[in-house]
Amino acid sequence: MNFIGRETELNSLSRGISTGGTMRSAFISGEVGIGKSALVRELGKKFLSQDSSILWLCPRTPENLSPAGWASQLARDLQAGSALSQDSMNAFAQVIGRELAVLPHTMDSALAIASGELFSKVADTLIKALEKLMESSDASTFTPIFVFEDVDGYNPRLLTWIETDLNVALRESKHFKKARFLFTGQKARTELEPFFQKFGIEQIHDFFLSGLSSNQSLELFK
């Protein structure tokens, strides 16, 4: 199936977010059904086919995931360029699954609600396992790209964990100095500014998706 109507955004993002690009982070906004997820999927396919050293970290995120649930989903959904074998990625997912199995994966669990420190080690566990995964390859460096789809729907405790524990673990790791961050959401970026500031993102590039033209809609329909 051809990709229709977002070629400008796709080309701009693929140049900017790529290993050699200068865009560290981007925010794709637009109403439900406008094509944000389709654009993200197409961007991931393009990166993975063209760059062997890409780590595509794009967990599917129901609103109520806990940090342990988010990290486990990331491990299951991990994709990478040809520098990493499928066996090594499967082993990584198994390690994360085993390490985090005892923790609640949703925030409506009684244990998750009662304990504020329950997820304090999740970020370190995830980042150390990702470091080991990257070190298992002969590639000299990787470009990790974290994708936070519908970030404005994340529960507040997951957002707090991302901007604190995960943020610290990423900054302390030499393997994530070149990490890129891609966010999508329905709200305007300004409404998420406190989160971006706490996460340490100084400049974020905006991509607002409006409706397709009549010709593009007709082509998509066909």
- Give pLDDT tens digits for 54-105: 999 999 877 789 999 999 999 999 999 999 999 999 999 999 999 999 999 9
Amino acid code (one letter) for 118: L
Question: How many residues can be counted in the chain?
Answer: 222
Residues 6+ apart with CB under 8 A from 131: 173, 175
Closest CA to 59 of 147, 138, 131, 184: 147
Task: Label residue 108 by pLDDT band (50, 70, 90).
Answer: confident
Task: Label residue 218 by pLDDT band (50, 70, 90).
Answer: very low
* Residue 71: per-residue pLDDT: 97
DSSP secondary structure string for all residues of 193-205: HHHHHHHT----E
Distance set, CA 72 to CA 15, 104, 176 (Å): 30, 11, 19
Regarding pTM above 0.75, the answer is: yes
Residue scoring higher pLDDT (219 or 181): 181
